[in-house]
Chains A and B, each alone.
Chain A
Amino acid sequence: MIVCLINVHAAQPLCGCCVFSDKDLIYMCPFHGALKGKVFITNYRLYFRSTDMSTVTLDVPLGVIGRIEKMGGASSRGENSYGLDITCKDMRNLRFALKQEGHSRRDIFGELFKYAFPLSHGMPLFAFLSQEKFEENGWSVYNSIDEYRRQNLPSEQWRISFINESYELCDTYPVHLVVPYKATDEDLRRVATFRSRGRIPVLSWIHRENQAVITRCSQPLVGMSGKRNKDDERYLDIIREANGTPRLTIYDARPNVNAVANKATGGGYEGDDAYQNADLVFLDIHNIHVMRESLKKLKDIVYPNVEEAHWLSSLESTHWLEHIKLVLSGAIQIADKVSSGSSVVVHCSDGWDRTAQLTSLAMLMLDSYYRTLRGFQVLLEKEWIGFGHKFTSRIGHGDKNHADQDRSPIFLQFVDCVWQMTKQFPTAFEFNERCLVTILDHLYSCRFGTFLYNCESVRDSNKVRSKTVSLWSLINSDKAAYVNPFYTSDCSRVLYPVASMRHLELWVNYYIRWNPRIRHQQSPVEQRYKELLALRDQYLKKLEELQLSDSTPSSARLTNSSTPNAPLPNQHLTHLQTPF
């Protein structure tokens, strides 16, 4: 906290200029009551330090703010009824009370509103102003060609197409696409006319042994009249043929009824008649609006106070974990199909929300590379950022329109699924919980360019890579903090989590982390493990020293153990809680 304060005062590069300082107000803390203190606002963050209770501080990146409202009027009666109510995107609300005299909140409201929603005021996002420097350059983490090469692509059956080099085929797809060798660029163009927004089926992942692939796309434009497209049908069959799969499985993430309803707006799904060598499976995952409402309900039961009396039934009534279960079980089915040797096509309506969730989770199950710290970054870059998950629309970066119907916690839901997997397989993932929380924090913060904009073409035109810093720069410059000490690298098999409510649990350390009653200590197991690791290294070193000294005169041993710079064994022992 002190570090942050210094940041504010010293106006470090991170914080650009200091907009506001030393505003006295009262923070209506839901846990400790009304607390007097000072608030500092920069163009990056809101920082509050309580003078009543030194342990209470707030450090809120302005990007996290979703909505700012005035509370009470100049004539409002009652203590602390005049002030600001701030709704954050990270499951908390902040209330500040000010003195009623002299429109004291006018300035602070204005400044906050301007800097929390810079795009609505014709200003750049903070990521473009940040001058932060890191040891590592996060932008070098992902290069699509390298990633395809890692998967042994191109191969005899699959080629890398440059047809989308200038985003002509599909403006929400990346430039490099892996497509069947047998499909010509002309074929691709014709298929694009039959797929919503031109998002044609392209390869996302290929199984090293059985050559089964995960391909992703958007819904076919079947429409009410049940249109067919020979090129699309043939194209899917080419995908099937690539590894000799007898049946291609198409996973439509939506509930059946929704897929049918989409016909009314020109969309739809692959009919049996048209795609004779394909099986269509609906995965029953609901749309972005349902997810948004579910999270809203979840917030109601965990913030500010945790629903006590009927915790479990309240949790159930939010349906949040049920949605998680559906997403996970969809991904399990995909992973199972692929590892049994069948190629799959995954789509929803547009292929950038549910599809991204499913393909990336299936890949996490199938490919242990994505379970490493770097591999996970590659996975996000590829499946989410590259294939055009609409981060700007879903998160609403820098935009004041808090009621925008396009906002939805799809990415959060995905990270939650990942967390559920790390819970079930605590040694299989190289990254830790802190890494996931950090990713979510910076999903909103606008401090890094990583999650800005809806797709690569827009990112290119805004020169994100050259003008902003990547989140992976932060993480990769301090890897030790984001690494799971229990990670066992040799676990390369397929991981199937159990998608049952018996095992799914609420991610308390994320959703309820603002509640001080929930202990946020490092897990005792982890702490103990680290202690032991340190001890082992120390012994190893000692042993090495001894072995060296064995070759030297025997008196060396005595002197060795009493050298001042080599700590005495007894001292170490007392550091540890457990003796050996």
Chain B
Amino acid sequence: MLSLGSGGAKSTKPSFVSYVTPEEIKSEKEPQKKERHPNLLPGEVVFCSTNPILKYTQDDISQRGIFGTLLCTNFRVSFISDETPQEEPTQHFKNKLYGENDIPLMCVDCLYGVYDEKKKLITGGMLKNKYPSKMIIHCKDLRVFQFCLTFTKEEEAKKIFQGIVHHCLEPKSLKCVFAFSYANTKGPEMQRTQRTLMFDSQEDWSQEMKRTKGNCRIVTENQNFELSERLPKYFIIPAAVSDDDLSKFPGKGLPIWCWSHHSGCALFKASSLPVTQEDGVAQAWMERMLHAVAQTHLYSVKIEDLLETLPNIQDIQQSYTKFKQFFLIDNSTDFWMSDVKWFSSLENTGWLDIIRQCLQKAVEVVECLEKENTNVLITEEEGSDLCCVISSLVQIMMDPHCRTLTGFQNLVQKEWVAGCHAFLDRCNHLHQKDKECQSPVFLLFLECVWQLVQQHSPAFQFSETYLTVLSDSIHVPAFGTFLFNSAFQRESCLKATLQHSQRGPLSWPAVWDWSMQFDCKAQELFINPLYAEKLKQEKVLRKVPRIKHQRQLSLPSSAFKTPPKKGFFKDEAESLKKMLRVKRFSRWMVPPDSPAVATRQFYEAWQQKPLDYHGLLLPCLDGPAMRLWMQRYLRWTPEAQILGGGSVAITSKLAELLGEVRALQRELAQKGWWDSMGEGHHRPQTMSLALVRTSLRLSSYFPFAASRNWSFKPVIPTGLLQSLMVTDKLASQEDETNEVISLV
């Protein structure tokens, strides 16, 4: 079999794997008392189920809970309450695929067992025979579930525990992922999301190049992955790369076009050439590649090896592992304990700093493209991790189209999905024991985007909620979007299953088909009501002053032209990688400054101009500006909920007013006053009023946490003085130093 890129996924065995062990089938057939089953999805199979299980209600300090059935299917771990569901306060933001008591198998992050009051991490394989009294499940979407097994018959408890451990922790083959059963059952042609470009066809790429007015060429030679399995079916390279050079090294080191600036310069990304190939051939080839990139515009190129300045994927993984612990809170005591050193704890994880570094790097690249009109080539070992982060961020900052919902989805498809980001390995969807490859790189990207969204909200058509939901969807195993390591892997899986299936070709639904998860009303929450859509007139106006880059042309063009041609790649003794490092053109315009200082100047210059939400967008990187994505990380924590408050209070006011304005418009239109003006703009632009109005009991984590247990009781912090040991004399000093209290 062909290898699937960077290790990780074991090549799929051709044999059919049955999940259902005989004993499990038996248990399923046992006539349970009045066990309820969830509404199973097509293709969903129950492995095991047990009743009664006590689920602790998290938002309660006293260890109360509800009894119900716990079951494990090939899609999820699910808890169904024995209590007849009371009048649900119509939960609007309901996921159609899984409910609030369901955990998609891929979404399980860690399992803990409580044995004799001690909490132990459960790793697959061990501790299996002794089942814990309490099972704690930490989810990748930061939910925490606690199930008590002591009320359950020993046999049953053991079975469900082992079942869950097995299906959530043990390595499995790709074909066992639920998406495969789910996709099978759907008809051959899944309704393809209309507006999102998949970048699996030549047209999508040429359309994108046309949109950005790029002048590179589309490569069709990889249609059947003959060039490389780590490259998309179609991709774009500098026009000057010869056919000969294209196939010289199997996809490595090839500068892949990402985006073209309106000045003509472009952003490229490349994986590094294997270090072993230090021969002259490789160097000469690399030189030709650089020249080809440089020729795209002005004969200038800047190379940035991302791994030299940015943390690698292991660093990212480590940092995030520490970071997320602060949100997987088991109880109130833990919450207040961790509140004491909250800021330094956050800082020590380094997560926010990694976000800042990525944004900073993106700003540096933006500066080259925007200010210096230099082509930029970013490189990295695989060319599909940090390259994706940086190139996507650059595009979001520079290209307003990427800030629309469709544009953003196109971008993710282009850079990440078609761009062969190894989702399968990075997310460790298959629970591989070897966790070297695991790293939340895509989440890191979403975090960076969130920072931009919160700093410049009106520039984005999508909302924070959209990003949160997207980050959750990575771990919903119903979609094909974030399931594979590469386009090649995806296609080979498709072919492999085709042989077994009589029903024609498979197709996995794309995550972009949001109607699979949310109804229309809920989807409206993805739209940012503040988004300032561009007016047509403005577009015309803005086209006029385009002399800008011409002015810049005259600036340092001599500097661009001389160095690359001669002597640049002379030093043959050095490895190519090292040479690139040495010769990296660092800041020609302001040489002595550190990148941070230079970007700061760039930022300040940008900041002084009036803000155009449809123009260049830069993030503020100052300490106080880097914030925590509260909605994603704190949405399930009852202690952190502001009942009746939070920014949703404002959003609902805004939506209400928008509704009023709309109604007035309609009324005016009926009266004939409203002529042709404004027509076509009547799209449902904002969240539905009904949604916000009916949920009068809003909490700061709307729309996620259902605040059923609404009480006006405040959360009173505990353990307040633990850290505030002010030891100096001041503390004991009297308030009034100069006066002596008169003793009466």
Contacts and interface: CB of A to CB of B under 8 A. Distances in A.
Interface of A: 193-194, 196-197, 221, 223, 255, 257-258, 261-262, 265-267, 284, 286-290, 293, 306-308, 310-317, 319, 321-323, 325-326, 329, 332-333, 335-336, 339, 348-350, 353, 405-406, 424-428, 486, 488, 491, 493-503, 506, 508, 512, 516-519, 521, 524-525, 528-529, 532-533, 535-536, 539-540, 542-543, 546, 550, 557, 561, 569-570, 573-574, 577-580
B194 interface: no
B344 A312 contact: yes
Contacts of A501: 339-340, 342-343
Contacts of B25: none
B667 A543 contact: yes
A262 B735 CA distance: 10
B613 A557 contact: no
Interface string B717-744: 1001101101010111111111011111
B404 to A, nearest CB: 13
Nearest to A313: B344
Given A316-B344, A425-B644, 11 more contacts: A290-B726, A313-B344, A496-B712, A500-B717, A502-B634, A524-B457, A528-B530, A539-B661, A577-B458, A577-B532, A580-B662
B743 A221 contact: yes
Contacts of B537: 574
26 contacts: A287-B734, A289-B730, A289-B731, A293-B730, A306-B623, A317-B344, A322-B724, A336-B713, A336-B714, A353-B735, A425-B644, A426-B649, A493-B644, A496-B713, A499-B717, A500-B639, A500-B717, A502-B628, A502-B637, A518-B624, A525-B654, A529-B654, A532-B661, A550-B671, A557-B673, A569-B675
Contacts of B607: 517, 519
Interface residues of B, number: 95
A536 B645 contact: no
B344 A498 contact: no
Contacts of A529: 650, 653-654, 657
Nearest to B610: A521
A69 B29 CA distance: 88
Given A311-B623, A335-B714, A326 B720 contact: yes
Interface in B651-695: 653-654, 657-658, 660-662, 664-665, 667-668, 671-675, 677-678, 681-682, 685
A317 B724 CA distance: 10
A406 B344 contact: no
A495 B645 CA distance: 9
A262 B78 CA distance: 58
B724 A543 contact: no
Residue of B343, B646, B665 with most chain A CB atoms under a 10 A cut-off: B343
A536 B457 contact: no
Contact of A265 (B530, B630, B678, B741): B741
Contacts of A525: 457, 530, 650, 654
B647 interface: yes
B623 to A, nearest CB: 3
A539 B665 contact: yes
A557 B672 contact: yes
Given A313-B343, A503-B640, A528-B654, A498 B715 contact: yes
Return the 4 tightest CB-CB contacts between A and B, nearest first. Answer: A311-B623, A496-B714, A501-B342, A577-B532
Tell me whether chain B's interface is mostly helix, strand or loop, or mixed: loop
Contacts of B457: 524-525
Contacts of A317: 344
Nearest to B674: A569
B643 interface: yes
B714 to A, nearest CB: 3
Contacts of B540: none
Given A266-B741, A495-B645, A500 B640 contact: yes
Nearest to B651: A525
Contacts of A498: 639-642, 715
Nearest to A569: B677
B347 interface: yes
B738 A535 contact: no
A580 B661 contact: yes
B28 interface: no
B343 to A, nearest CB: 4
Contacts of A349: 734-736
B535 A255 contact: no
B503 interface: no
A524 B721 CA distance: 39
Contacts of B644: 425, 428, 491, 493, 495
Contacts of A286: 724, 726, 730-731
Interface of B: 335-336, 339-344, 346-348, 352, 456-458, 530-533, 535, 537, 603-604, 607, 611, 613, 620, 622-626, 628, 630, 634, 637, 639-647, 649-650, 653-654, 657-658, 660-662, 664-665, 667-668, 671-675, 677-678, 681-682, 685, 700, 712-717, 720-721, 723-724, 726, 728, 730-738, 740-744
Contacts of A287: 730-731, 733-735
B642 A503 contact: yes
A333 B737 CA distance: 30
Contacts of B685: 578, 580
B260 to A, nearest CB: 27
Contacts of B532: 528, 577-578
Given A267-B741, A350-B735, A424 B720 contact: no
B732 A257 contact: yes
Nearest to A511: B624
A9 to B, nearest CB: 29
A333 B352 CA distance: 33
B737 A405 contact: yes
Contacts of B640: 498, 500, 502-503
A516 to B, nearest CB: 8
Contacts of B731: 255, 258, 286-287, 289-290
A497 B699 CA distance: 12
Contacts of A506: 624
A348 B734 CA distance: 11
Contacts of B639: 498, 500
A540 to B, nearest CB: 7
Contacts of A574: 535, 537
A532 B716 contact: no
A532 B658 contact: yes
Contacts of B736: 349-350, 406
A193 B645 CA distance: 45
A311 B643 CA distance: 29
Contacts of A311: 347, 622-624, 626
A533 B713 CA distance: 35
Contacts of B535: 574, 577, 579
B56 to A, nearest CB: 22
Contact of B730 (A290, A333, A424, A557): A290
Contacts of B744: 193-194, 221
A265 B734 contact: yes
Contacts of A521: 611
A139 to B, nearest CB: 30
Contacts of B352: 312
A484 B18 CA distance: 62
Contacts of A333: 716
Contacts of B735: 287-289, 348-350, 353
B734 A262 contact: yes
Contact of B743 (A223, A306, A322, A336): A223
A533 B532 CA distance: 16
Contacts of B628: 502
Contacts of A196: 741
B110 to A, nearest CB: 22
A552 to B, nearest CB: 14
Nearest to A426: B650
A321 B664 CA distance: 46
Contact of B668 (A405, A496, A532, A543): A543
A496 B713 CA distance: 8
A161 to B, nearest CB: 20
